[in-house]
Homo-oligomer: A and B are copies of this chain.
Amino acid sequence: MDKNKILELNKKYADLNSYYGYIIQVFGFDQETIMPKKALNKSGEAFSYFMNEYFKITKSEEYINFVKEAYKHKDEFNDEYKRLFELRYRNLMRNESITPELNNKLTLATQNGFAKWLEAKGENDYSIFEDALAQMIKVGNEAIELKKKPGQTNYDVLLDEYEFGNNEKILDEFFSKLKARIVPLIKEIKNAKKKINTEWLHRPVEINIQKNLSNWLLHFNRFDLERGYIGEAEHPFTTFPSKDDTRLTTHYYLNDFSNNVYSVIHEGGHGIFGQNEPDSYYQIGLEESMSSAQHETISRFYENIIGRNKAYVSKLRDKINELTNGEFSDISLDDFYDEINYSAPTFKRTESDELTYSIHILIRYELEKALINGKITTKGLNKEWNKLYKEYLDLDVENDNQGILQDVHWAQGMFGYFPSYALGNAYGAQILNTMKKDVNIEECINNEKLEVVKDWLKEHVFKYGSMLDAKDWIVKITGEELNTDYYLDYLENKYRKIYEIEK
């Protein structure tokens, strides 16, 4: 196949990918923000149909032949095309054995799982979701068996899909390091003399005011609202229908304004990443090729490293006082900062503090690893969940909504995604260490010049997101392989200082 033919077919399939990607993203957004729950079945049917149509395209002889030829000739193209052709080929090989029938079965199982999860949440009863979850795992494992390479566990297959080159062995080691330093620190904080008042953060803030605050935060962080939208969803997420259409969601609670604040900053981080990829990636179809760990690196960088920084908290305090006519003006900046960073085990991952967060991930990691590898079943999985919350966080989960039903991931068939959050935390702290050499973050925040942070990330981080796998990306950015010490040192320093605990 000659070079022009390859370029022509690449254009064709990049367009098709963007059209189907478009409806899949808009559909997904719509399902979780707007669609009446009673309509989920019908929409699921339509959704499955189009997913399957797209799947057929990627199974066509022409497409398969194009991908193989493009891969064979990849060295004749520039770096971006080369990367794109490598990714196309990797994906093709990965899904080579998946038939349209099996793919359709997967989609239907997922649609049903999502509907049952919503129903289960409505009733606060995991048992409603149990069988649908088992079915998702069963069908998922059928696909895994077809993809599995020698030496891989079933869960390894999923980990490798989210993060190329990742496996249980690497993550077991990663999580054991986190566990070894974070769990004792959580205990030290529990026993620390200093106690932080946790009441005032729950003063009511009108939803309309919170909405204004969301817009202000996104603008402050330099998310481009003219190319984006904020909706509301049970479980906040971000989606990217097209270059100029990045959609965040958040949720509003009258008595918990900071919940929205950190959802918006987190999702806004995903959005800023998406909005600042090079245009050339959109032209050839390389956009949004970054992994979930890469994406979570940025969202959690904004949420925690930027958003929970004292300079940022000071700006937030000023703004909320301005919007509420001084409702929080009796709280000193030190107290405001402490409360925002208050650390204590909680039931919900998304509401957990920066320190306990990775332990929530550890629990999910252990459960999904055992589930996918067939060591445990979905039967009574809520009890397993509750057992681990007791063991690691000393919490007694009282009901399923407080426990296993809280996250949307499994309900959407996303097994193997959770570790990305913890990896993102670690990558973020490592990137911070490098960024600090060029950028004074506190100064940027004080001067309301977050474009400096954004531009640095654009130049040193975003540009390589779609070009490199996470493990190579972090080396390119920081000159060093993943080094968990940056993250653990960052946590120790921050929390020992807040809780006045000597080392």
Binding site for B on A (CB under 8 A): 15-16, 18-19, 22-23, 26-27, 29-30, 34-39, 42-43, 45-46, 49-50, 208, 226-229, 231, 241-245, 247
Instruction: Contacts A23-B50, A46-B18 given; indicate if A39 touches B242 (C-beta within 8 A).
Output: yes
B36 x A244 contact (CB < 8 A): yes
Distance A244 CA – B40 CA, assembled complex (angstroms):
9
Residues of chain B within 8 A (CB-CB) of A49 are 15-16, 19
Min CB gap A386→B, angstroms: 33
Would you list 25 pairs from A and B whose C-beta atoms are within 8 A, ordered by A residue? A15-B45, A18-B42, A18-B46, A19-B46, A19-B50, A23-B27, A23-B46, A26-B26, A26-B30, A30-B30, A34-B231, A34-B247, A35-B241, A36-B226, A36-B245, A37-B226, A38-B226, A38-B227, A38-B244, A39-B241, A39-B244, A42-B243, A42-B244, A42-B245, A43-B242
Residues of chain B within 8 A (CB-CB) of A43 are 22, 241-242, 245
Q: Which residues of chain B have C-beta atoms less than 8 A from A36's C-beta?
A: 226-229, 244-245
Q: Give A18 Cβ to nearest chain B Cβ, in Å.
A: 7
A interface SS class: helix
Interchain nearest-CB distance for A197 vs B (Å): 32
Which residues from chain B contact A35 at a C-beta distance below 8 Å?
Answer: 229, 241, 245
Nearest opposing residue in chain B for A231, CB measure: B34
Of all chain B residues, which has the CB nearest A229? B34
| Chain B residues near A16 (CB-CB < 8 A) | 49
Q: Within the complex, what minimum Cβ distance (angstroms) separates A209 from chain B?
A: 12
**Minimum Cβ distance to chain B for residue A226 (Å):** 6
- Is there an interface contact between A39 and B245, defined as CB atoms closer than 8 Å? yes
Residues of B within 8 A of A26 (CB): 26-27, 30
Which residue from chain B places its CB closest to the CB of A228 in the assembled complex? B36
B22 with A46: CB separation less than 8 A = yes
Q: Which residues of B contact A208 (CB under 8 A)?
A: 208
Within 8 Å CB of A228, what residues of B? 36
Taking CB atoms, residues of chain B closer than 8 Å to A19 are: 45-46, 49-50
Distance from A33 Cβ to chain B, minimum over Cβ atoms (Å)? 8
User: Do B42 and A22 touch across chains, with their CB atoms under 8 A apart?
Assistant: yes
Provide the residues of chain B in CB contact with A27, threshold 8 Å: 23, 26
Knowing that A29-B34, A208-B208 touch, tell me 11 more A-B residue pairs with CB under 8 angstroms.
A19-B49, A23-B50, A34-B231, A36-B244, A37-B226, A38-B245, A39-B242, A42-B242, A42-B245, A43-B241, A43-B242
Question: Chain B CB within 10 Å — which of A34, A35, A50 has the most?
Answer: A34
**A229 to B43 Cα, complex, angstroms:** 15
Task: Tell me the nearest residue of chain B to A41, going by C-beta.
Answer: B244
Residue in chain B with minimal CB distance to A37: B226
**CA A15 to CA B27, docked complex, whole Å:** 18
Q: For A42, what are the chain B residues with a Cβ–Cβ distance below 8 Å? A: 18, 22, 241-245
What are the 10 closest A-B residue pairs judged by CB atoms, nearest first?
Answer: A39-B245, A42-B242, A38-B244, A39-B244, A22-B46, A19-B46, A19-B49, A39-B242, A38-B227, A36-B227
A18: chain B residues within 8 A (beta carbon) = 42, 46
Rounded to whole angstroms, the CA-CA distance of A36 and B242 in the bound complex is 10
Q: How far is the CB of A51 from chain B (nearest CB, A)?
A: 11
Closest to A208 in B: B208
A245 nearest CB neighbor, chain B only:
B39
| Interchain nearest-CB distance for A268 vs B (Å) | 15
Q: Which residue of B is nearest A39, CB measured?
A: B245
Would you give the shortest CB distance from A46 to chain B, in whole angstroms? 4
A245 to B: closest C-beta gap in Å = 4
Task: Give complex CA distance A227, B40 in Å.
Answer: 11
Which residues of chain B have C-beta atoms less than 8 A from A15's C-beta?
45, 49
Nearest Cβ in chain B — how far from A419, in angstroms?
Answer: 32
Q: A45 to chain B: closest CB distance in Å? A: 7
- Kindly identify which residue among B29, B39, B45, B247 contacts A227, using a CB–CB cutoff of 8 Å: B39
